[in-house]
Amino acid sequence: MSFEVADTLDMSTPAAKRASYDLLVAQVRSVLEGERDWLSNLAQFSALVYQSVPQLNWAGFYMAHGQELRVGPFQGKVACVRIPFTRGVCGACATSREIQLVEDVHAFPGHIACDSASASELVLPVVAGDRLVAVFDLDSPAKARFDAEDSRGFAAAVAVLAAGTDWPATFG
């Protein structure tokens, strides 16, 4: 089996960005097709995003275990392992179950700097039924890298992942 994955999606204009996220969501469907294993799907999803979305230095998952997040499949530098729901951008996302779009991480109270190169961050909840099973975290070395279009695009991609994956009872 082989996949045609764009090396770098064009996000240089709002129109190009919209089209690129449509393509990313289609690629997520294609890459996950026929597989519902959580570990395989999260690994593939992280790799696809990191490979094709420009200006990222980290992309991956923190899995929900009670009131604590633990690092899951990701691409990028070694990261911190455990994050309580009370801490950081990921914790804020897990607690609120709302997308966190942070234009300047240095201005976010409690931001956890895993990589000093990170300047902006986008974190999305991964919800299966009524369970928060994980958060998907994206870091960028560019300030204000993410906007509402990125939020919408990644939310659509994460929704495909959430619906196409069997989530063990240990998460949530």
- Interface contacts to ligand SME, rule CB under 6 A: 58, 79-80, 83, 88-90, 111-112, 114, 118, 121, 137, 139
Instruction: Name the token pair of 75.
Output: 């691409």
Give 44 or 118: the residue with its C-beta nearer to ligand SME.
Answer: 118
Is 156 exposed, middle or buried (CB count within 10 Å of its CB: 0-12, 13-18, 19+)?
A: middle
Give 49 or 114: the residue with its C-beta nearer to ligand SME.
Answer: 114
Smallest separation, CB 71 to ligand SME (Å): 8
Smallest separation, CB 166 to ligand SME (Å): 25
Gap between the Cα atoms of 101 and 143, Å rounded:
12
Beta strands in 66-171 (DSSP E): 68-76, 82-84, 100-102, 120-128, 131-140
Give 23 or 103: the residue with its C-beta nearer to ligand SME.
Answer: 103
Give 41 or 118: the residue with its C-beta nearer to ligand SME.
Answer: 118
The strand order across the sheet containing 131-140 reads 82-84, 68-76, 58-65, 131-140, 120-128, 100-102
- Nearest residue to ligand SME by CB is 88
Gap between the Cα atoms of 38 and 110, Å rounded:
30
Smallest separation, CB 29 to ligand SME (Å): 26
Smallest separation, CB 137 to ligand SME (Å): 5
Give 36 or 82: the residue with its C-beta nearer to ligand SME.
Answer: 82
- Is the C-alpha dihedral spanning 136, 140, 143, 149 positive or negative? negative
Smallest separation, CB 80 to ligand SME (Å): 6
